[in-house]
Structure 1
């Protein structure tokens, strides 16, 4: 009798549309305009610090344009290279976007982030501002790629990278983060530890877009792998930021290798092409890497799907935007974390020599690192002398 009454009640509720109302209300809680996700997104991107930094970057628009302006000769060179490019039809594979900048634009967070996927600290934002202002004033101090300011080595994870997964991180996010971390871990001295109780740690969570802070900022810092970011390459890219890397196209010597085609860049994405701060970064003498996982694709930030970055050697056009951690990416991190001189453990400070060729540093050993076999002798010219001596002295002819 009770079962019959219950069945009758269910039929009445269904016919009255009660379940439909409940379903819609539950759906709205998670996906509607007043959803939990929207509120969390608002909390993350509308806090005072983020808004202040966003406003600071917006005020730099005209100055950034000035730094990206091309000379008449550069314009001619760019036109010649563009004419050589083979037109490639781009087919969107994923609804959420096929690249980090596409995903973040569709998620409506790209405009709030520096260079499309970075959250800056206030100090870092000040350094970017100083860099742009100095360049427009004609300054020419060295600018590099890996984050290295006065707080270094406190900005590296010298005792290992601690992380934990937020409740929002599903199985796919957890899997790609671990695999992305492994891409950095397997050929460096950097280790990752899942530890929610650690003082300094990365919170991996699902928020709108794919983004991270640069370097260790202290305490708990966020790394988002939102909808569309569930790939190993995307996770490895954001982890690269958390380890201390800016984008490759931010290097001081970028303009020797690629040209930024301002004509195709979205007006509100100009900061994606700023060069990095003059006194806070280091390339360790390593050559420009078109295939770096930290390099955006050739049509990144384009409003018309046409190239925004064009290499001087157009053979490398389709190399830009690689989803794989490259050898040079690993080389930068191994130097940044002092892996070559600390027997496989992140060191407090890289040891560098200023001695001239033929004058070897104290404690010198005539022994090549295992990676020299991968490099090959032809790469000696791509490394600065400090690296040749510390990494591959035998192969490069120092002993």
Structure 2
């Protein structure tokens, strides 16, 4: 359990110590937690199966997120602007996991909706009929829902709620780039959005990957990552590579997914995938994809740097991308979306990538409302291993 606690402790001012107000982690039926501090001893269950390698760290981190005050993302009061909820596809005894909060109960601290956080359910989570329970308004995010990673905005919200940012006066703290913020336990360095690193968030993160220079003609990036000998056994830890595609100042970058290895597609891309960050908002999780059917999906950046993050915790996967700069109009690039088919009941069906098994456990939205409420026995098929990018 200590390594699970470390995930939130690592990137905030909060430390988990034994005290009168404390969390008791124990084994009961399912994986669940109350939302926010109750006072005194507070229970958090990690029952049978919660520590399975296919879920591992992400379930524990998700439940700890509840304990420190985070709701499900899909329960935010403003969620209807970002997802379409198909409640008639949800198992009746799971509907409370999708209850929309009000502005009175849900303080998001001005932080925008992020489809890529660990507190967000997958598109088919809690389905009672195999059909999707929710679809993002930006359908290119369909595979991002159900993420195995804590998002930068979730870390930012926790730090804001507990006033950790106040530990670092602006005059004496690191001047973070790319919308990072000073680390509350070491104000001389920054906590960075995914895809950015270094003390000031102005460098490519260390490790595999490299800086690529875009030209006016298509160039190709081929990334191979993973363990060739692993078979279908999932590891706890991700291998992660970070690339930067750079272009001249004032230009934009077009990125097209050419191909991706078959066999790992699932809600949230929990085993392997590629994240492409083209938004103007550097803090927002990028688009994650992990299916061969994504081939041809094209993105246009809002700046002259595009971080590309590949990750894997199973057998070897290959990502092939093409990129170039100089295309300045979105009208000139393909707007192909993920392969979503509409049935007679107007429900999206993902024939190549629907979940066939569901395990129960707990989850909720990253809104730092501290009302005591128990959440558990939720559908977390897509919430797997968590490591901070």
TM-score by length of 2: 0.44
Greater relative contact order structure (CA < 8 Å, 6+ sep): 2
- Which is higher, the Rg of structure 1 or of structure 2? 1
Q: Name the structure where helix makes up a greater proportion of residues.
A: 1
Q: Name the structure where strand makes up a greater proportion of residues.
A: 2
